[in-house]
């Protein structure tokens, strides 16, 4: 057996992908599985974006690009931040990578060293803690729950920050909870951060997927004194239904961006050239389809929250953004289904897949022992069908 590097031992493979594989296997056997596990919009990429990629291909844009990304794309990204938040960045402050996941990976590798603490409010997106571990860091989780709408209390945040804190991760709206910080809360968080010399990584990938006319606030715009130590992460996957194109970006202080670009230059080089052309059109072109998708997500959110709250033992907050709900299933954890005791969210997810043929993601990997995650980036018809099946399966528990 090949001796593997130590770094492979402390991290886990993505549970979301494992569930998707199990659901896929059932489907390949002809079983009708309702899939609430996917972390991607079910809409197709808008036509004008696809056309830009076709045009780039036709024009022969098939060569390596600058490691940091093509200049027009980096310029369009800086213009977006100027237009939307009044922030002035230069194109050298932008690094385009193979998805926001890759952007985060590059930044973590660039700034986290052995023993550095990485503060992560929980529940959190699965990859933050494993990426911190891969860089030799120590994740410091701040647990939150329904009582505060899954937003951390300021006292918790103050206690979590220590002189060893190297990075603080913020993600609003949040995957998996959909929680989004209000303006005054972010201002208070920023004031605490003023006192701590750490890098802030603000993962704003769901910034446009926000409901009920609420607004997502940009930390740097709210408190410009944090600009030199804040990296904003964003991308086109979620806003423009472009998960497969793999384009994300980091925008922030030039020294951090250059270090991350150096790491990228020794791994993937540039992100795919024609996907960059598509991302340019996504960011610079018509935004008309974005609110249409968001309105559809909001309709689905309202239905799924209503249907899940009608199931005894499941309690679900109405999220403000992203396309996930994160219901509490604690009352189900003392029950037995198909002769097996449901001792954890993983057991509940397994039971729902076996009994109801419904795929959800267990909360453990998001830092919760009491929740499961549903993505409602699926049709209303499937939401109704899946929730009915869950209702019936939960009734069978004893
Ligand atoms: C919070 C969060 N950040 C980053 C990403 C990565 O997105 P991508 O790599 O597709 O740009 C995801 C994807 O699920 C996410 O949920």
User: For residue 243, how many other CB atoms are within 10 A of its CB?
Assistant: 18
* pLDDT above 80 for 5: yes
* 152, 183: one domain: yes
User: 172 CB less than 6 Å from ligand 1?
Assistant: no
Residue 72 resides in a domain: yes
* 62, 17: one domain: no
In DSSP notation, 228-288 reads: GGEEEEEESTTTTT-GGG--EEEE--HHHHHHHHHHHHTTT-SPPHHHHHHHHHHHHS--T
Residue 206 resides in a domain: yes
* pLDDT above 80 for 19: no
What does the alpha-carbon distance between residue 97 and residue 77 come to, in Å, rounded to a whole number?
13
* Mean predicted confidence (pLDDT) in 180-185: 96
* Mean predicted confidence (pLDDT) in 58-63: 98
Alpha-helical regions (H) of the chain: 15-28, 47-58, 71-85, 100-111, 127-134, 154-160, 183-194, 219-222, 254-265, 273-284, 289-309, 345-351, 380-395
Distance 396 CA to ligand 1 centre (A): 36
* 101, 227: one domain: yes
Residue 51 resides in a domain: yes
* Mean predicted confidence (pLDDT) in 47-55: 98
Q: Give 108-135 pLDDT, tens digit per residue.
A: 999 999 999 999 999 999 999 999 999 9
Distance 178 CA to ligand 1 centre (A): 13
Alpha-helical regions (H) of 161-218: 183-194
* 84, 100: one domain: yes
Choosing from 232, 258, 284, the residue where a domain stops is 284
| The 3-state secondary structure of 90-107, one letter per residue | CHHHEEEECCHHHHHHHH
Number of domains into which the chain is organized: 2
What does the alpha-carbon distance between residue 317 and residue 374 come to, in Å, rounded to a whole number?
12
pTM recorded for the entire structure: 0.96
Residue 66 resides in a domain: yes
Q: Give 344-390 pLDDT, tens digit per residue.
A: 999 999 999 999 999 999 999 899 999 999 999 999 999 999 999 99
* Mean predicted confidence (pLDDT) in 207-228: 95
* pLDDT above 80 for 15: no
Element (H, E) at 209: none
Q: Give 220-242 pLDDT, tens digit per residue.
A: 999 999 999 999 999 999 999 99
Distance 40 CA to ligand 1 centre (A): 9
Q: 115, 145, 112: which is closest to 128 by C-alpha?
A: 112
* pLDDT value of residue 22: 85
* 148, 120: one domain: yes
* Mean predicted confidence (pLDDT) in 204-215: 95
Q: Give 130-173 pLDDT, tens digit per residue.
A: 999 999 999 999 999 999 999 999 999 999 999 999 999 999 99
Choosing from 237, 269, 284, the residue where a domain stops is 284
- Please answer whether residues 146 and 327 qualify as being in contact, where contact means their C-beta atoms are separated by less than 8 angstroms: no
Q: Give 306-352 pLDDT, tens digit per residue.
A: 999 999 999 999 999 999 999 999 999 989 999 999 999 999 999 99
User: 205 CB less than 6 Å from ligand 1?
Assistant: yes
Q: Give 252-308 pLDDT, tens digit per residue.
A: 999 999 999 999 999 999 999 999 999 999 999 999 999 999 999 999 999 999 999
Distance 248 CA to ligand 1 centre (A): 9
Q: From 15, 98, 101, 203, give the residue whose CB has the most ligand 1 atoms within 8 Å, as the site to mutate.
A: 101
Residue 1 resides in a domain: no
Domain of residue 317 covers: 6-44+289-395
Confidence of residue 12 (pLDDT cuts 50, 70, 90): confident
Give the atom of ligand 1 at the shortest distance from the alpha carbon of 236: 11
* 270, 340: one domain: no
* pLDDT value of residue 286: 98
Give the atom of ligand 1 at the shortest distance from the alpha carbon of 235: 11
- Please answer whether residues 346 and 7 qualify as being in contact, where contact means their C-beta atoms are separated by less than 8 angstroms: no
* pLDDT value of residue 23: 86
User: 100 CB less than 6 Å from ligand 1?
Assistant: yes
Question: What average pLDDT is seen over the chain?
Answer: 96
Residues 6+ apart with CB under 8 A from 246: 98, 99, 102, 237, 271, 272, 275
Choosing from 255, 284, 313, the residue where a domain stops is 284
What does the alpha-carbon distance between residue 71 and residue 31 come to, in Å, rounded to a whole number?
48
Q: What is the CATH number of the domain that holds 318?
A: 3.90.1150.10
Distance 101 CA to ligand 1 centre (A): 6
Confidence of residue 21 (pLDDT cuts 50, 70, 90): confident
Element (H, E) at 74: helix 71-85
Residue 172 resides in a domain: yes
* 266, 122: one domain: yes
* 203, 184: one domain: yes
* 69, 201: one domain: yes
* 231, 273: one domain: yes
* 200, 250: one domain: yes
* pLDDT value of residue 195: 94
* 263, 240: one domain: yes
Q: What is the CATH number of the domain that holds 91?
A: 3.40.640.10
* pLDDT value of residue 8: 87
* pLDDT above 90 for 215: no
What does the alpha-carbon distance between residue 188 and residue 203 come to, in Å, rounded to a whole number?
18
Token digits for 345?
A: 């969210």
């Amino acid at each position: 057996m090949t001796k593997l590097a130590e770094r492979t031992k402390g991290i886990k493979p993505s549970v979301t992908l494992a569930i998707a594989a199990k659901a896929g296997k059932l489907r390949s056997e002809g079983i009708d599985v309702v899939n609430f596990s996917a972390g991607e919009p079910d809409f197709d990429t808008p036509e004008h974006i696809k056309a830009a990629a076709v045009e780039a291909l036709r024009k022969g844009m098939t060569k390596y690009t600058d490691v940091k990304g093509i200049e027009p794309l980096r310029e369009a990204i800086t213009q977006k931040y100027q237009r939307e938040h009044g922030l002035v960045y230069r194109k050298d402050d932008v690094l385009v990578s193979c998805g926001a996941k890759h952007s985060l990976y590059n930044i973590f590798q660039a700034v986290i060293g052995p023993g550095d603490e990485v503060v992560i409010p929980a529940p959190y997106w699965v990859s933050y803690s494993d990426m911190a571990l891969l860089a030799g860091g120590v994740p410091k989780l701040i647990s939150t729950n329904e009582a505060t709408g899954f937003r951390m209390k300021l006292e918790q945040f103050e206690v979590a920050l220590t002189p060893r804190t190297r990075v603080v991760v913020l993600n609003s709206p949040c995957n998996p909870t959909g929680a989004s910080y209000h303006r005054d809360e972010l201002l208070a968080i920023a004031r605490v951060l003023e006192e701590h010399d750490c890098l802030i990584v603000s993962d704003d990938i769901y910034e446009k997927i926000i409901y009920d006319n609420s607004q997502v606030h940009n930390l740097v715009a709210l408190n410009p004194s944090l600009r030199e130590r804040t990296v904003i992460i964003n991308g086109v996957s979620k806003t423009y239904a472009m998960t497969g194109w793999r384009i994300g970006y980091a925008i922030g202080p030039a020294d951090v961006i250059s270090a991350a670009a150096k790491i990228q230059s020794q791994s993937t080089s540039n992100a795919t050239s024609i996907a960059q052309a598509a991302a340019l059109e996504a960011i610079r072109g018509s935004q008309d389809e974005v609110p249409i998708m968001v309105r559809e997500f909001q309709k689905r959110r309202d239905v799924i929250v209503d249907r899940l709250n009608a199931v005894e033992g499941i309690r679900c907050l109405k999220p403000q953004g992203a396309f996930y709900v994160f219901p509490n299933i604690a009352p189900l954890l003392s029950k037995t289904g198909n002769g097996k005791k449901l001792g954890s969210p993983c057991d509940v997810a397994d039971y729902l897949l076996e009994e109801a043929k419904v795929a959800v993601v267990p909360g453990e990997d998001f830092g919760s022992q009491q929740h499961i995650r549903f993505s409602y980036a699926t049709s209303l018809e499937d939401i109704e069908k899946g929730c009915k099946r869950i209702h019936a399966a939960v009734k069978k528990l004893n």
